[in-house]
Amino acid sequence: MMFAAQIFCDFSGYSDIAIGCARLLGFRLQENFNNPYAARSLMDFWRRWHISLSTWFRDYVYIPLGGNRLSATRTEINVLTVFLLSGLWHGANWTFLFWGGIHGLGIQLEKMLARVFRQRQVIRRPAVSIFLWLLTLVLVLLAWVPFRSADIGQTMQYWSAMFTPADTPSQPVAIKAMALLLLFILVSALGSAKERCKALSIATRNVETSLYFLLILMLPGAGTDFIYFQF
């Protein structure tokens, strides 16, 4: 959970620094993140996360492979190929390939389910929209585990620990963990709320910023290098 917050604040933060510096020099750079944890599907997540890289893979890999202009099977292969290559772009490690495969296969499953539920007009209901947001958030968080792990074995250990009852932590640790979890969910929910109701945009901006500062203050440890500098 906290790695998800860390990697977003890390990468989105220095992307915003670059955008701001470029603006001072009279250049307008493309926005690179757009409330990714407010996404209601994995495809929606990739329209919001690392937009510059997603756009590059779309223009120089997906479309040259045929995009969605060919058969349904070939389109599915193209999508999976893009995400596997995206994983390898981050590093020559099975964990990154695994991470890319999770997103690629997840998007294929989303498309299959969307064709069924759209016919029933269920997907537009507010309760369903909230459920899809929570489901997408959980899937993205689970997929970050192999991205963060050193190898597949460590990934399985982390996943096992996430779903295995453990010894009760000390009360201060438990309270801090729950507070961090709540703050992370609130930040994500505010991003989603701003999109659903434009009138909330200005009203929630200061609150959202304050929550990010609280997250930064509560995270332990000294400052480290930007995570994405290694890619």
Q: Note whether 33 and 187 are within 8 A (CB).
A: no
Q: Out of 19, 56, 90, 158, which one is annotated catalytic?
A: 90
Radius of gyration of the chain (CA): 19
The angle, 0 to 180 degrees and rounded to 10, between the axes of the packed helices 94-118 and 126-148 is 170
Catalytic residue list contains 50:
no
Which residues are annotated as catalytic? 90
